[in-house]
Homo-oligomer: A and B are copies of this chain.
Amino acid sequence: MKKTIHFLPDDITCEVEEGENLLTAAANAGVYIHAFCGGDGVCGKCKVIVESGQVAAGKAMNLRPEEEKQGLRLACQSTVIEDITIRIPEEIAADGRSLKRKPKTTRAISARSLDALVGKWQVAPPVEKRFLQLTPPSMDDNIPDLQRLLKGIRQRCHDCEEPTYDHPELLKRLPFILRQANWQVTVLMLRGKRAEEPDRIIAVEPGDTSGQLYGLALDIGTTTICGVLLDLNTGTVIGEASAYNDQIPCGEDIISRIIYSQRPGGLADLQAKVVATTNRVIEAVCTPRGIDPHDISYIMAAGNTTMSHLLLGLDPKFIREAPYVPTCSQFPLTRAAALGIAAHPSVRLFLYSSVASFVGGDIVAGVHACQMYKSPELTLFIDIGTNGEIVVGNEDWLVCAACSAGPAFEGGGIRHGMRASRGAIENFHIHPETLEPMIVTIGQAKPCGICGSGLISTVSELLEAGVIDQQGKFNRALDNPRVRPGLDGYEYVMVWGRDSLVGEDIVITEVDLDNLIRAKGAMYAGYETLLESVGMTFADLDRVVLAGNFGAYIDLERGICIGLLPDIAREKFFYLGNASLLGCQISLTDHVRFRERVEVSRLMTNMELAENPHFMNNYMAALFLPHTNMELFPTVRDKLLV
């Protein structure tokens, strides 16, 4: 249930889900509150006055009795349970004047409805179960068991071709299943690849099991493997789980995984690890619901090209070496069990086709999910990460490219960078006068580093507050203890050592800023180069789709402010979230969409940016906050000139 929060004196009203943390709610609404400890309750700075309504209080209120009586609460320890009015105490400067509060800059428009983007899909999955009551054989009718089964299937479907059937294991058990089940069985069928192809029998189960039809969507990420379990009879999600990829110790990113794969036994090791992780995810979605993993009837997966290779045991060696050639783009039909996945021996694992070495099945699945290839609207599809992937196009054409943004968005190359896990600073506001920070961490834990979304908010806030300039250099004229020279040039202290989990000051340095600028510059140059290649500009764009888990956490205004996203009308932006997983879910549920999926990858024309001179020019021009050409960023220009 939604609850309303009215923040005073800023007079900002927002709606949040019941149970939301008050500090997080304020940060998301762009309301600045002093907060140093990330939400752990220890710094005791984030005091607010609850003027109307009640909040649920956490363990560490850390307030004096008279403060409690005055209605003071620690925002980070408060949970929203009803409509409330919150007043942020005014801060008084040394000279007695009330310090100016920061104006609201965060996202004006939240994620656009998924339906508007991806459309509806029908519940008519590529697999189906049919319960058959067969006539037992007699001397007058002693056709083989399989033929009897096929006949039974055909009687249920008069106009369809004779189905084909699966590998000998099915046949080996068929005579016994039929007789033990007294000729009453359920067949699991996979619809033909195309409408005119025959269906395929995947499994035969005794009795009527048609009520249990489950599908698993799998997003095989370099860092995280996510699974969604669907009831395919209704199309509803019945379980979700994710796990860090066991391959991480073998290398953080794709390139280091490929290097690892070249060790003796490395490839087999990586394959075993991705399979083990997948099995943990399957276990996690199935066990709490009492579902046997063997009852999953089909698996639809997507991953980048390297992860797809590793899952199938294909050597990714040549993906890394120019001219960057993968083994294949359309992956062979595979039985999940043959890879070691805990699944019924007959169950298929479908992997989305990739387009090129660095534009993989995860992107194809996302494009498939958002259906940009069916729309007349010109759409820019972005998945931001170490390898950023970009797709531009409409119903007539699609071009795509990968750009190597570097690991900054995943915390790599950043002094206190970290992955988006517990204790990572994910939201940051700065007081425009005191330059004091407001820190929100994932899990409201003591801060231990900065993740990608935290980095974007930090840089954007520092830029707007004039702490850094458009080249990412600190204003050396500032007299503030938080801005100081450090090992990597100047730096800003986000968290003092006493408030941090790591026990040292958490800072952001000029080297960090350089790395972030290069990363966002590569992405922006990528969009620009792709658009130019088809004679278009940002002005021609009808929609920008932000895909990927990271994309879902990017604050639109801040992303635009640093030049990571183009400065165009905000209502053109859509958050798609884990688009890869969504594509898998749609393919699991709707066989018409399922059949379209292979075509999607064929429609996408890949462009290599690595040695492209246009890209290099665009990249150089983008190494500025937000850009050297401020005509491209009118709203940011206006904001920075204020």
Which of A28-36, A312-320, A375-383 sits within the interface? A312-320
**Residues A317 and B175 in contact, CB atoms below 8 Å apart:** yes
Partner of A175, one of B171, B313, B327: B327
Question: Is A323 part of the contact surface with B, judged by Cβ < 8 Å?
Answer: yes
With a cutoff of 8 Å between Cβ atoms, the chain B residues found around residue A146 in the complex are 327-330
| Interface 9-residue window, one of A11-19, A134-142, A455-463, A581-589 | A134-142
Are B314 and A172 in contact, with the CB atoms below 8 A? yes
On whether the beta carbons of B144 and A322 are closer than 8 Å, the reply is no
Candidates B144, B145, B325, B608; contact of A145 at CB < 8 Å = B325
Residue of A144, A145, A147, A168 most packed against chain B (CB within 10 A): A144
Chain A positions 589 through 630: 1 when the CB is less than 8 Å from some CB of chain B, otherwise 0 = 000000000000000000010110000000000000000000
Are the C-beta atoms of A168 and B314 separated by less than 8 Å?
yes
Chain A 131-171: CB-based contact to B (< 8 A → 1; otherwise 0) = 00000011101111111100000000000000001111001
- Contact A315/B176 with A147-B329, A332-B167 known, Cβ cut-off 8 Å: yes
Asked if A357 is at the interface of the complex by the 8 Å CB criterion, the answer is yes
B325 contacts A171, C-beta separation under 8 Å: no
**A314 lies within 8 A of B138 (CB):** no
B171 touches A326 (CB 8 A): no
Among B141, B171, B610, the residue within 8 A (CB) of A328 is B171
**Please, how many angstroms separate the alpha-carbon atoms of A146 and B166 in the complex?**
25
Q: Which residues of B contact A323 (CB under 8 A)?
A: 137-139, 141-142
Q: Are B313 and A168 in contact (CB under 8 A)?
A: yes
Q: Does A121 contact B (CB under 8 A)?
A: no
A145 near B611 (CB under 8 angstroms)?
no
A323 to B145 alpha-carbon distance, docked (Å): 11
| Contact string against B for A residues 415-458, beta-carbon threshold 8 Å, 1 for contact and 0 otherwise | 00000000000000000000000000000000000000000000
A317 nearest CB neighbor, chain B only: B175
Q: A42: CB under 8 A from chain B?
A: no
Instruction: State in angstroms the CA–CA spacing of A314 and B144 once bound together.
Output: 13
Task: Determine whether A243 belongs to the interface, using a CB cutoff of 8 Å to chain B.
Answer: no
Q: How far is the CB of A346 from chain B (nearest CB, A)?
A: 12
Given A168-B334, A172-B314, A318-B145, A611 and B139 contact (CB-CB distance below 8 Å): yes
- Smallest distance from the beta carbon of A118 to chain B beta carbons, Å? 28
Least distance between A175 CB and chain B CB atoms (Å): 5
Report Cα–Cα, A253/B588, bound state, in Å: 50
Verify if A397 is at the interface (C-beta below 8 Å from B): no
Against B, the Cβ 8 Å flags (1 = close, 0 = not) of A347-365 are 0000000001100000000
Instruction: Identify which of residues 273-305 in chain A touch chain B, using a CB-to-CB cut-off of 8 Å.
Output: none
| B332 and A144 contact, CB distance less than 8 A | no
Determine the interface band of chain A, counting residues with CB < 8 A from chain B.
35 or more
Q: Which residues of B contact A318 (CB under 8 A)?
A: 145, 175, 179
Specify which chain B residues have a CB less than 8 angstroms from the CB of A330 in the assembled complex: 146
Could you tell me the distance between the alpha carbons of A58 and B325 in the complex, rounded to whole angstroms? 71
Instruction: Let me know if A174 is at the binding interface, CB within 8 A.
Output: yes
Min CB distance A103 to B, Å, is 48
Contact A324 B171 (CB under 8 A): no
The interface centre, meaning the residue of A139, A165, A175 with most chain B CB atoms within 10 A of its CB, is A175
Q: How far is the CA of A356 from the CA of B357 in the complex (A)?
A: 51
Q: Which residue of B lies closest to A355 (CB)?
A: B144
Kindly list chain B residues whose C-beta atoms are within 8 Å of the C-beta of A608. 139, 142
Whether A332 contacts B171 by the Cβ 8 Å rule is: yes
B143, B166, B176, B327: the one contacting A144 at CB < 8 Å is: B327
**CB nearest to A173 among chain B residues:** B315
Give CA–CA (A212, B21) in the complex, Å: 73
* Closest CB in chain B relative to A321 CB, distance in Å: 10
Cα-based distance from A171 to B328 in the complex (angstroms): 8
Pair B172/A313 contact, Cβ less than 8 Å:
yes
- The reply to whether A332 and B165 contact each other, CB–CB distance below 8 Å, is yes
Residue of B nearest to A145 (CB): B327
- Please measure, in the bound complex, the distance between the C-alpha atom of A125 and the C-alpha atom of B330, giving whole angstroms: 29
Q: Per-residue 0/1 for A61-87: is the Cβ within 8 Å of any B Cβ (1 yes, 0 no)?
A: 000000000000000000000000000
Alpha-carbon separation in the docked complex, A144 to B318 (Å):
10
- Contact present for B172 and A328 (CB under 8 Å): no
A610 neighbours in B (Cβ, 8 Å)? 139
Nearest-CB distance from A31 to chain B (Å)?
A: 50
Contact across chains for B329 and A144 when beta carbons are under 8 A apart: yes
**Chain B: minimal CB distance from A534 (Å):** 18
Chain B residues within an 8 Å CB radius of A324: 142
> CA–CA, A137 to B174, complex, Å?
48
Bound-state CA distance A323–B167 (Å) is: 26
Taking A165-B332, A611-B139 as contacts, is the C-beta distance between A171 and B322 under 8 angstroms?
Answer: no
Given contacts A139-B608, A312-B168, A332-B167, contact A174 B144 (CB under 8 A): no
Residue of B nearest to A322 (CB): B139
Cα(A175)–Cα(B258), bound, Å: 15
Separation of A608 and B142 alpha carbons in the complex (Å): 9
Which residues from chain B contact A179 at a C-beta distance below 8 Å? 318
The B-contacting residues of A in range 543-602, CB under 8 angstroms, are none
Closest approach, in angstroms, between the C-beta of A348 and any C-beta of chain B?
A: 13
Q: Is the CB of A325 within 8 A of B139?
A: no
Contacts of A139 in B (CB 8 A): 322-323, 608, 610-611
Is B144 in contact with A328, judged by CB distance below 8 angstroms?
A: yes
CB-contacts of A27-68 with B (<8 A) = none
User: Residues of B contacting A143 with CB < 8 Å?
Assistant: 325, 329
Chosen A-B contacts, 16 in total, with CB atoms closer than 8 Å, are A137-B325, A138-B323, A139-B322, A139-B608, A143-B329, A144-B329, A165-B332, A167-B332, A168-B313, A168-B314, A171-B332, A172-B313, A175-B315, A175-B317, A175-B325, A179-B318
Closest 6 pairs between A and B when the two form their complex, measured CB to CB: A146-B328, A142-B323, A139-B323, A144-B326, A144-B329, A144-B328
